[in-house]
Structure 1
Amino acid sequence: MTRSRLTRLFELRRLLPLVAAVLFVLALRVPVWRITLTAPQYVDPLVVELYAHPRIGGDWQEVRGLNKYVGFYYPDPVYVEPNYEPHEKAVDVPEWVLGPVVFIGMAVVSAVVAALPSRRISKGLTALFAGSIALFGAMGALIQYRLYQAGHSLDPEAPLNGVEGFTPPLAGTYEVANISGTAWFGPGGYMMVAGVVLLAIAFRYRGSDATITETPAILRGGWHRLRERIRRRGNDDEPSPAGTGRERNPDSEEGHRLETDGGVRPDAGSEGDLQRAARADRSRPADASGDDVAPDRRPRTPPDGDPP
């Protein structure tokens, strides 16, 4: 491998997708989603961890005992056997088995884009970033729909059959009867988000050959630009000092100029008054206007030899 290829490998637009690919693969090894539940029956909170493939970890057995009171059951992946026994009335979620396909597919595509030639990598990064947003966004929307479906398909034969349907959020808090829950990312979820952020940065520098060694200078430049933008915004928001913030009125300035020059203010009268004033100026005697020079009235000097 030549030095030029080594340099290209450390370009931000190539290195960051490779790191994102590693994160996508590692996300399959740890939970991507975590639910924390609190109930009066338990002193400590209960935690349920869900993976990108059909697997549940944490205190899932204790939580299953709580869920049966309201008729809420873990999803059934249908095509594979998970590490728990799905209830016969559980909601079918066959797409759960496609989680590894999504993460591994994103990792492979990221690595392929990182190896593209310079003339094609810009388009490749654009498609990769847009595809990651669309793919993970659609996956989140589908999961939220399945949560809605499970929360509104409660078992009518459950001990607490008076509980109304609810929608557990993909991220946030909720309450069911006397049970409070909080859903948020697990370690795998953070890895997924970090991978997408790295793809966004690579997309930002898709037309630049900046390497990882130039990152400190790029960060300093970005910090200086941010501070300058904040400073300019602060100056724009400051009120103008008294007497200096008034806008100039061209009409009033023109009227003041005409009045100072001996003319007539535009609003001093009607159009007829202006015409009469103009005729009066034309009929005014020349000597009265002061424009003509008065004749010389000094006594003439007599010729030489004549008495004065």
Structure 2
Amino acid sequence: MKKAGIIMIIGSLLLLGLFKFPLWNIVLGAPQYPDPLGMNIYITGIQGVEEFDIQNIDGLNHYIGMRPIPKPSEMWEFQVFPLVIGSMVALGVIIGLLGFFGKVNHWWFLGWLVLMSVLGVLGMYDFNLWLTDYGTNLDPHAIMKMTHPDGTPMTYKPPLIGYQKMLNFDVDSWPHVGGYLMFVGMLLTFVAFFIGKKEWKKKKRGITTS
């Protein structure tokens, strides 16, 4: 399964892009901001798209009672996620090498993909929980207290993915380069599974006929 093993290794190594590029991006645009404010979310922390974006977002959030954007030391995820990704890269490369030398079959490739998918879903679920808490757990003593027409307090949870209108802001939340690299890497491991399946069948057929 040499070809499948190589594809598996390449797919796994693409996840290393998460240590360099943002996983996610949230952009806030409004008439008073000709240049939108943005946050790039890495597996190691949150940074502004431009130098003062985080400072400006925190300033806006202060008026409506939202907490400041957390620093890496204030969220356990930014310590755990790099370890998880690094471990999955190492595991994927090991499985790819073993497949290359015919020591494991194609089901190991699928097993890695399933595990990575589960971890990805859990990560997105955790991210959504953070967005919900960040946008709804507001300071009751905030300067501005916005309410819906029925009198209930407004919340400001950014969308997990897609577009949403919040007050006079247009909020967009989409994967960034790191997220797309992870998707491509996982797709390659899926391809490696099918190629490995064919190669494994050929190998078994050769053993049977001999």
Q: TM-score range by the shorter chain?
A: 0.7 to 0.9
- Aligned residue number for residue 97 of structure 2: 115
Q: Distance in 1 between matches of 2:15 and 2:186?
A: 9
The root-mean-square deviation of aligned C-alpha atoms, in Å, is 2.1
Check if 1:57 corresponds to 2:48: yes
More strand by share: 2
Name the % identity.
25
Q: Distance in 2 between matches of 1:41 and 1:156?
A: 26
> Which residues in structure 2 correspond to 1:163-202 (within 5 Å)?
163=147, 164-202=154-192
> Which residues in structure 2 correspond to 1:106-255 (within 5 Å)?
106-116=88-98, 117-118=101-102, 120-163=104-147, 164-209=154-199
Q: Give 5+ residue unaligned stretches, structure 2.
A: 148-153, 201-210
Q: Distance in 1 between matches of 2:7 and 2:159?
A: 31
TM-score, scaled relative to structure 1: 0.57
Contact 2:164 2:171 in 1 (8 A): yes
Contact 1:38 1:45 in 2 (8 A): yes
- Aligned residue number for residue 251 of structure 1: none
Aligned length: 189
Q: Distance in 2 between matches of 1:153 and 1:129?
A: 35
Q: C-alpha displacement at 1:22, in angstroms?
A: 2.1
Deviations, residues 42-80 of structure 1 (Å, cap 9, x unaligned): 1122221111112313122222222222222345357x2
Q: Give 5+ residue unaligned stretches, structure 1.
A: 1-7, 81-91, 211-308
Check if 1:71 corresponds to 2:65: yes
Partner of 2:114, secondary structure, is: helix
Q: Whose radius of gyration is greater, 1 or 2? A: 1
Q: C-alpha displacement at 1:205, in angstroms?
A: 2.2
More helix by share: 2
Of 98, 114, 130, the match for 2:80: 98
Q: C-alpha displacement at 1:17, in angstroms?
A: 1.8
Partner of 1:56, secondary structure, is: strand
- Aligned residue number for residue 295 of structure 1: none
Deviations, residues 184-217 of structure 1 (Å, cap 9, x unaligned): 011111111111111111122231239xxxxxxx
Q: Distance in 2 between matches of 1:157 and 1:175?
A: 24
Q: Distance in 1 between matches of 2:137 and 2:124?
A: 20
Contact 2:66 2:139 in 1 (8 A): yes
Contact 2:13 2:93 in 1 (8 A): no
Contact 1:77 1:97 in 2 (8 A): no
Contact 2:54 2:69 in 1 (8 A): no
TM-score, scaled relative to structure 2: 0.81
